[in-house]
Amino acid sequence: MTFIEPLLFWILVPFVALPVLIHLINRMRYTPMKWAAMDFLFRAKRSSTKFAKLREILILTCRCLALLFLAMALARPLSGGWLGSAFSGDSETVIILLDRSSSMSSLDDSGQVNKVQKSVALIQETAAKMPSGTSFVVIDSSTLKPIFLKDTKSLSDPVLFGVTDAGASMKDMVSSAYDYILSANPGNCELWLTTDLQMNSWQPESQDWATLNADFKNLKSNVAFRVLALSNQPSKNKSISIKSTRRVKLEKREILEVTLQVARNYTGPETIQLAVNLNGAETVKQISMTQDSLLLTHQFELASGDDGGFGSFSLPDDKQPGDNFGYFAYGKHVELNTAIVSQEKHSRLLALAAAPPRGGFSNSEVLDSNVLLTKSINDYSLIIWDKPEIEEQLELQLIRYVKNGGQLLVFAQHVKDSKLFSQLEFGAIENAEEYKIGDWNEAIGPLADSLQGESLPVSKLKVTTRQLIKSPGQVLASYEDGQAFLSRIGLGRGTIYYCSTNLSKKWSDLYKGAVLLPMLSRLVSEGSKKFSSVYFESSRYDQQLANLEVLLGDKDSAVKSLHAGVYQKENDVYVLNRPAYEDGEALVDEESLEQIFDGHEFSMFNNSSSAEEDDTQSEMFSLFALLILIFLAVEGFLTLQRPLVKEVTA
C-alpha cells in the first residue's frame, strides 16, 4: 500500500498510541478510598480480571486501530500499490527489467512524464524502503545486459535508462535475468518487470515461456516476479510509420514514392498537419482522415542525377511522442532485372509477372542456362530457376550470387531425389485431386499481407502436383497436411526460395497470377536492396551499428542505434525506425501473465491511469472510513456492555 501523503501518515502514526497513553495516565490518576468490604473487591477482581483484561485490551485495540485507520485514511492510501505488492522483505537481490521500448514513451496526463520515467520513479520509491544491503541489478529492454546499480538513483539517467525507439521482448529480458541468476547466483531474487503490457512485447503464446518457467523452477534461488504494469494508453493518439520507399523512373522524370501509414486510436473526420522533410526542406501536407487508418503514398520529384537523400514525416505532438516520426532515405536509381532460366512454355508468364509492363521500374528476360553463364549474374535482383538440371559451374556462380544478396526462386523439379545448390534435396513427386494450402506467413516474406493489410489469396491456389523437399528450411507456407508449399533458406546476404509446385497447368493454377505477381514483385524488391547503400532497419542495440553519424534525428543520444533517425556509417545510410510491432495496441491480460509465471510467486500492480488512481484512492478512503466506523462501533459495544447482575434482595 502506498500513500499520497506518506509524511502525514508518519506524523499521525504516533497518535495511535494515544488511547494506551490515556489509559495508563488514568490508571495512575486513581483516587484513594477507604473501603470496608475488601473481600468482595478481591473476589470480584479475581473473577473478573481475565474478562476485564480481555475487554480492556479489545477496547484499546479498537481505539488504536480506529486511530491508525484514520491516520491512513488522511494520508490518502492507494490500494494494491506497487510498494505493497513489490515488497516482500526477504529478497537479497532485485533484478529490474526495464522496458525502454518506443511504446513506453507514452506521457501521463501532465504531459511531462513518460512511462519509463514513471516506472523508474516507482522503483526508486520502493527501493528506498527496501532493507539496506539489497542489491539492485537492471536489465533494460534494449541492451539486455545486466548492470549492477550502486543505488537506484542512477536509473534517472535519461541517456542510460531513458525511453528509446527500439522494441522490447519481455521474454528476452526474463531470459537475460535467468542467465544472470545462473551465473551470479545472487540468492533470493525479485524480478521487477516494468511493462506497458503490450501483447507484442510479451507474446504470451510463445512456447519459450514454458521453457523459461521450468528453468526458473530449477534454480536454487527463490525468484519472485513482480509486474509493474503501466497499461494506460492515450485516449487520442496518432502514429505514423513508413511502409516502403521506391524510386521510379517514368520517362524523363524521376519520382520517389514513399508509402506511409497514419493511424489513430479514434475515429471521426479530421484534418492532420503532416510535416514533411526532404533533405532539410520542410513542407506541410494536410491530410484528411475519417477512418482510424490511412495508407498514403507521397511522391517527391527528384532532380535528375540525384544520387540519394533522406527525410522524414512527422505528426504534431501528442501524448505518445515516440510514434510521431517516420524516417526514410533513398539511393541512386537502380535498374531491377530478373532472369528466368526455364525451357517451359509458362516461362513467358513468369517474365511478365516479374516485370509487369506498367510497373515502370523493372525488366525481365527468359534465358537458357548457357546464356546466363555469359551474363554479369550479379546485376540481377532475382533469378528464377525452373529447370531440372544445372551445370556445376553455374551452380557455383548462383550460390555466390545468393551469398552476395541475390534472391533465387526455385520451382519444383521433375527429377526425383535430385539435389540443387547444395541445399535443396528433392523428394517424391505427389499427385492428388487438390492440395490446399492451409497456413502461410502473413507477416513477413513474399506471401505477406499487402500494405493495406489485405491477405493474398494463397488459400485459393489449386495445386494438383507437388514435389516435396527433404530439408525445407524456414517454411513460409504449408499445405493442410503440413508439407511445405513455400520455404526459404538464408545463404549469406541472400535467400533461396523453393516453391513445391510450378506454373504448369498440370501442377497448379499458380499461373493465374493473383499470388505469383505480388510474390515475384516482393522478391525483386528484396533483391534490389543489394544495389542500394540504404538500409532500412528497426532501432535496436547493435554493436555493428556503433559510430553512426547522425544525418537526421536526435544528435545527442548516446547509443544512436536505439533512436529513430537517418544515420551514415562510411558509405552506407541506415534508416532506423521503431519496429512496427511497437504500434500494436493489444494488451496482455493478468491471467496470461499468471499463466506465464505459473508456479512462481507472482504479483501484478497495474498503475493504469491517474484517473483510476484517484478512484482507487477514493475507494480506499471509503474502506478506511468504514473500518474506522466498525472499530468505533465495536469499541462502543464493549464499553457499554456490562455483565448482567441478578439483583438479590436481602
Partner 1 sequence: MKEIKKRDFLDPELLAKLGRLTVEARRFMEGGFAGRHKSPHRGSSVEFSQYRKYVQGDDIRNIDWRVFARTEKHFVKEFEADTNLRAYMVFDCSGSMNFAGEDDTKFKFAQKLVATLAQLLVQQGDSVGLQAFNDKMIKDLPPRTSPKHLYAIYETLGDLQPSGQTDLITTLHNLAGKIRRRAMVIIFSDFFSDVNKLIDCFSHLHYKKHDVAVFHLIDKAEMEFDLTRPVRFEDMEGGESLIADPASIKGRYLKEFNNYLKEFHDGCLSHNVEYHLAVPGEGAEGVLSEFLLNRLRGSKK
Site residues (CB under 8 A) for partner 1? 26-27, 29-45, 47-48, 52, 55-56, 642-650
288, 296 contact by CB (below 8 A): no
499-500-504-507 Cα dihedral, nearest 10 degrees = -150
- How far is the C-alpha of 221 from the C-alpha of 171, rounded, in Å? 20
325-330 and 309-314: which strand pairing? Answer: antiparallel
User: What H or E segment, with its residue span, contains residue 94?
Assistant: strand 93-98
Nearer to partner 1 by C-beta: 32 or 89? Answer: 32
Question: Looking at residue 533, what DSSP letter applies?
Answer: S
Nearer to partner 1 by C-beta: 252 or 642? Answer: 642
- How far is the C-alpha of 531 from the C-alpha of 548, rounded, in Å? 21
Closest CA to 311 of 378, 258, 267: 258
Kindly state the smallest distance separating residue 41's Cβ from partner 1, in Å: 5
Nearer to partner 1 by C-beta: 131 or 636? Answer: 636
327, 246 contact by CB (below 8 A): no
Kindly state the smallest distance separating residue 636's Cβ from partner 1, in Å: 14
Nearer to partner 1 by C-beta: 41 or 219? Answer: 41
Nearer to partner 1 by C-beta: 49 or 393? Answer: 49
Closest CA to 366 of 393, 338, 390, 391: 338
Kindly state the smallest distance separating residue 68's Cβ from partner 1, in Å: 24
Which CA distances in Å does 154 have to 66, 159, 195, 354, 499?
40, 10, 19, 55, 54
Kindly state the smallest distance separating residue 29's Cβ from partner 1, in Å: 7
Nearer to partner 1 by C-beta: 23 or 249? Answer: 23
Q: Dig out the grid coordinates for 256 from the structure.
A: 520517389
520, 526 contact by CB (below 8 A): no
Nearer to partner 1 by C-beta: 21 or 415? Answer: 21
Nearer to partner 1 by C-beta: 220 or 646? Answer: 646
Closest CA to 87 of 38, 123, 54: 123
572-577 and 534-538: which strand pairing? Answer: parallel
- Rg, the chain, Cα only: 35
Nearer to partner 1 by C-beta: 287 or 638? Answer: 638
Kindly state the smallest distance separating residue 22's Cβ from partner 1, in Å: 12
- How far is the C-alpha of 343 from the C-alpha of 368, rounded, in Å? 7
- How far is the C-alpha of 117 from the C-alpha of 322, rounded, in Å? 14
Kindly state the smallest distance separating residue 628's Cβ from partner 1, in Å: 24
3-state DSSP assignment of residue 297: strand
